[in-house]
Structure 1
Amino acid sequence: MIRRQLLAAALGAGLLLAPLSSALAWENEVEALKQRWEQINTRQAEGQRRGSLKSLSEEAERLVQANPGAAQPLIWYGIIEASHARERSGLGALGSARTARDALERAIELDPQGGNGSAYVTLGALYDRAPGRPIGFGNSDTAERMFQRALEIRPDGIDVNYYYAAFLEDEGRKNEAREHAQRAVDGTAREDRQASDEALREEARALLSRL
């Protein structure tokens, strides 16, 4: 009797621990993807990044497929594939941009905060930079909505303020662009994104001096 009770308790604990172990596994893998993405974007030369991002995107896609209900793997798949799109050209770049957009939009259905706003920042940049219809999906109104949502979540973020400032410059709204470029310069880098945030701070300084 006691042995059966112990066995039942052990099985019950196993059922409780299995989802937790699974979550921890993908969290560790997301962290590894994030760190490698940082290294590729801040340390590799321009000509080397495309191949590295392609491999990293394939890894992120496999993680998404293994964890279909988790938002964070989708967010990082979208961020990585958006970076991959930037390194490509022509239809290949547009295909990667569409893949990134779809992943990020699925992610915010699961997590309305979009990974502390990161999904919205990347979506804003994608809608800003993609060509418009009928070739692509670019749309200035949608881009601005995405940036505004990111600002609601993280108003002092270096990334959102820099990309929004660049968008505003393209729209001819220079006073607003100057304000957000300054906010990017003054922003606090995130501990887990320090290298890429500091790189964007430098770009924001350059943008501010140009404005």
Structure 2
Amino acid sequence: MKKGLVSLFASLVLLPLLAHADALDDAVLGIQHQWAHIQYQLPENQREKAFEALEGKAAALVSQYPDRAEPKIWDGIVLSTWAGAKGGLGALSLVKRARSQFEGAIAIDPASMDGSALTSLGSLYYQVPGWPIGFGDDDKAGELLTRALTINPDGIDSNYFYADYLLDQGEETKARQYFEKALQARPRPQRPVADEGRRQDIHKKLATLS
């Protein structure tokens, strides 16, 4: 009888924890889907306002789950792509906020979401201008992107952004190898729009190589 009561108690404790995890997973997946729709299916002139609205949802999720890495990662991704849609010096404050979110996620769990915070932060470091305008740092970018590849060596995003970094550094031959490896990545069943959009990005980059 006592064993039965212990098992029942354990089940009652675990149920709210599992529901909590499911709610977070569902919310993150919703943001992922909306992000992919904006990034790859909306006309370019509509993206800035759409990303701004989505960032409100991502920021609310960060507030709801302050000790989890996933909401910080996606708030950072939304902020950085919003910055890309916005452009100009006005985007710098957004990428600084994105950097802060990625750093927070790495402090909690650098391997969360297959090292996405490392990949995303690394991409900021090679794309953002350096001092005195921004915080760009090619060496830092290479370090972060390499760390991300050790966590997720076969992922489409980890390989794409490392390839793009290499292209930025003028290493075209090596960049081609990683772009092609990214194309071979296993599809993510819950993210078909993002996968197809990223493959289009890769083909565009490959077309620029000699």
TM-score (norm 1): 0.87
Q: Work out the CA distance in 1 between the residues paired with 2:144 and 2:207.
A: 26
**CA RMSD of superposed structures (Å):** 2.2
Residue 108 of structure 1 deviates from its aligned partner by 1.3
Q: Work out the CA distance in 2 between the residues paired with 1:71 and 1:82.
A: 17
Residue 143 of structure 2: aligned partner: 145
Deviation larger for 75-84 or 10-19: 10-19
The answer on whether the counterparts of 1:189 and 1:198 sit within 8 Å (CA) in structure 2 is no
What one-letter code is carried by the residue in structure 1 that aligns with 2:208? R
Residue 159 of structure 2: aligned partner: 161
Q: Work out the CA distance in 1 between the residues paired with 2:180 and 2:10.
A: 55
Deviation larger for 61-70 or 84-93: 84-93
CA distance 1:209–1:16, change in 2 (3 Å)? closer
Alignment of 1:33 with 2:31, yes or no, is: yes
User: Any stretches of 5+ residues in structure 1 without a counterpart?
Assistant: 1-5
For residues 48-90 of structure 1, the C-alpha deviation after alignment (integer angstroms, 9 at most, x for no partner) is 1111110110111011111111111111111111111111122
Residue 11 of structure 1 deviates from its aligned partner by 9.6
Alignment of 1:70 with 2:63, yes or no, is: no
Q: Work out the CA distance in 2 between the residues paired with 1:143 and 1:114.
A: 19
The answer on whether the counterparts of 2:73 and 2:101 sit within 8 Å (CA) in structure 1 is yes
Q: Work out the CA distance in 1 between the residues paired with 2:155 and 2:205.
A: 16
Deviation larger for 186-195 or 52-61: 186-195
User: Any stretches of 5+ residues in structure 2 without a counterpart?
Assistant: none
What one-letter code is carried by the residue in structure 2 that aligns with 1:61? A
Residue 183 of structure 2: aligned partner: 185
Residue 210 of structure 1 deviates from its aligned partner by 2.3
Q: How many residues align?
A: 204
Residue 61 of structure 1: aligned partner: 59
Q: Work out the CA distance in 1 between the residues paired with 2:201 and 2:10.
A: 53
Q: Secondary structure at the match of 1:192?
A: coil
Residue 96 of structure 1 deviates from its aligned partner by 0.9
Identity %: 38
Residue 107 of structure 1 deviates from its aligned partner by 0.6
Q: What does residue range 188-207 of structure 1 map to in structure 2 within 5 Å?
A: 188-207=186-205
Q: Work out the CA distance in 2 between the residues paired with 1:169 and 1:208.
A: 10
Residue 3 of structure 1: aligned partner: none
Alignment of 1:134 with 2:121, yes or no, is: no
Residue 201 of structure 1 deviates from its aligned partner by 1.6
What is the aligned counterpart of 2:82 among 74, 81, 84? Answer: 84
Residue 98 of structure 2: aligned partner: 100
TM-score (norm 2): 0.87
Q: Work out the CA distance in 2 between the residues paired with 1:95 and 1:184.
A: 31
The answer on whether the counterparts of 2:110 and 2:117 sit within 8 Å (CA) in structure 1 is no
What one-letter code is carried by the residue in structure 1 that aligns with 2:26? N
CA distance 1:179–1:16, change in 2 (3 Å)? closer
